[in-house]
Structure 1
Amino acid sequence: MQIENIQFKQEGAIMYITIDREKQLNALNKKTILELNHVLCLCESDDDIRVLIITGAGSKAFVAGADIKEFANFSKREGTELSRFGHELLFDKIATYTKPVIAAINGYALGGGLELALATQIRIASDNAKMGQPEVSLGVIPGYGGTQRLTQLVGKGKAMELILTGEMISAKEALALGMVNYVVPQEDLLIKAIEMANKIIKNSPRAVRKSIQAINATYGNIGLLKEIELFGSCFGSEEFKEGVSAFLEKRKPNF
């Protein structure tokens, strides 16, 4: 596969993955998801790689969401497939991955970007990071696990607030909610992620893998399947058309 949208390199037992679409604030599109899946599959079969660290290029964004232009005209069926595609190739794959994945959140983590971070095992944010699930402003719902994983981390009440208002919160607020594990100055972000990775590397890889499996066993996938269905049902609606048009035209939607 020709890799265009991500950079990856192995140093010792750590694989560093950088989503490299800085001009688009590292927004996720289908090709980027496929490329990330490709690298995850390569790492999974390499016993020398023990921990993965994912971050975004530049200092503004981890991932500022999905690439809205890519699905602006999708039908209900296409929207459902978009969600299922993302779940299977990336978000569920990371959540159930056989090796720990650390998100180094270096800026905006919005929509699909926050969902990517939520799918990882450990999240470390820079102090300038902003996080949120603004999908309702587009006439759609989080479709890559946000309704489930955010609720698991912060509780039903706060997840309802964040998803229904679509508001962003600071890294400090995210830390207080348990959404992230640590907040550090941006220049220390990778240092902290490497420190965490090295602590994990000292331990039994089999025990680490089994621990991830055991913790994940607490959470079923019924909610994720319902999310896929409801996400798809938003596509093609008048509210979805208005929300996406408003975003692309850089104006406020009129719902």
Structure 2
Amino acid sequence: MKYKNILVEEQEPIAVVTINRPKKLNALNQETIRELHNAFKNLDAEKEIKVIILTGSGEKAFVAGADILEFADFTVKEGNNLAAKGQELLFNFVENLSTPVIAAVNGFALGGGLELALACHFRVASHNARMGLPEVSLGLIPGYGGTQRLPQLVGKGRAMEMIMTAGMIDVERAVEFGLVNHVVSQEELLSHCKKLADKIANNSSVAISHAIKAVNASFKNTINGYAVEIEAFGTCFGTADFEEGTSAFLEKRKANFPGD
């Protein structure tokens, strides 16, 4: 599939999705959100792709925010629809994707850009990365899950400060907050993420998809996360991956998971 605003590179078992609007610092508009949705949906359906890495083009920005020109004159109803549609198509979609998604944050991750990184399963940043939610400086609040996912990761007080001050934090503070897992040079960013992806790809993709579902359930007030974990744990016993994994362990060899 051809895209206007993103690039997709598949090198099994890893795919790299690059948001490619460098003149706009990779700002998210509705067209880019739709393209990202389609790319993630298609990659998730490919059995050979075990991990997806998401990054931005150029050396300045992962995603520097939403494209403000697109919604500067929106009404209340249009604003509601913008947030709801974006959550459905991209942010919630990525968070609940069965294929792990690593955010390779290669520069500014602001507003919708940070919210997109938050929706990924974990984050690796380059030394020049800067992160923040500046929406209140525009008379808005984060609309793509920032008020929900940021407190889950960094705690209520830190999230409140970041949102209320509309300021940016550097990678040292991001690591301290638990916002990113690793910090590397920009030159090493993709290779480091690929090394992590290779480690993930060696494991059972079926079990990982169940683990994603169980971990996400713990953050939903209407769902008993323990019950989801128990059900997912039991389901794993009926998979070909479980049969292969246990056989490989007992036979003292490396597992070759079929992904079923």
State the TM-score bracket (shorter-chain normalisation). 0.7 to 0.9
- Normalised to the residue count of structure 2, the TM-score between the two structures is 0.84
Query: After superposition, what is the alpha-carbon deviation per residue over 1:88-140, rounded to whole angstroms, capped at 9, x for unaligned?
Result: 00000000110100000000000000000000001000000000000000000
Name the SS of the counterpart of 1:186 in structure 2. Answer: coil
Q: Which has the larger radius of gyration?
A: 2
The answer to whether the aligner puts 1:91 opposite 2:91 as a matched pair is yes
Measure the CA separation in 2 of the matches of 1:18 and 1:86: 18
Aligned to 1:202: 202
Note if 1:168 corresponds to 2:164.
Answer: no
Q: Which has the higher contact order (CA 8 A, sep 6+)?
A: 1
For structure 1, the 5+ residue unaligned runs are 223-255
CA distance in 1 between counterparts of 2:61 and 2:125 reads 11
Q: Which residue of 1 aligns with 2:57?
A: 57
Aligned to 1:13: 13
Separation (CA, whole Å) in 1 of partners of 2:220 and 2:76: 25
Corresponding position of 1:101: 101
The aligned counterpart of 2:37 is: 37
Q: Which residue matches 2:141?
A: 141
The total of aligned residue pairs comes to 222
Q: Secondary structure at the match of 1:97?
A: coil
SS in 2 for 1:3: coil
C-alpha deviation, 1:168, in angstroms: 0.2
Q: Which residue of 1 aligns with 2:70?
A: 70
RMSD, aligned α-carbons = 1.0
Residue ranges of structure 2 left out of the alignment (5+ in a row): 223-260
SS of equivalent residue, structure 2 residue 199? helix
SS at match of 2:188: helix
Matched with 1:123 is 123
Partner Cα separation in structure 2 for residue 201 and residue 66 of structure 1: 32
Share of identical aligned residues, percent?
54
- Report the Cα distance in structure 1 between the residues aligned to 2:44 and 2:125, rounded to whole angstroms: 25
Structure 1 counterpart SS, 2:109: strand
Instruction: Give the match's secondary structure for 2:102.
Output: strand
Residues in 1 aligned to 2:162 and 2:130: alpha-carbon distance in whole angstroms: 13
Task: Give the aligned partner of residue 254 of structure 2.
Answer: none
Partner residue of 2:255? none
**Secondary structure of the structure 2 residue equivalent to 1:191:** helix
Give 1:221 deviation, angstroms. Answer: 7.2
1:176-255 pair list within 5 angstroms: 176-220=176-220
SS in 1 for 2:17: strand
Shift of 1:11: 0.4
- SS at the partner of 1:59? coil
Secondary structure in structure 2 of the residue aligned to 1:192: helix
- The aligned amino acid for 1:48 is E
Structure 2 CA distance for partners of 1:221 and 1:18, relative to 1, 3 Å: farther
Note the C-alpha offset of 1:220: 1.8
What letter corresponds to residue 110 of structure 2 in structure 1? L
CA drift at 1:191: 1.1
Q: Deviations over 1:136-163 (max 9, x none)?
A: 0000000001001000000000000000
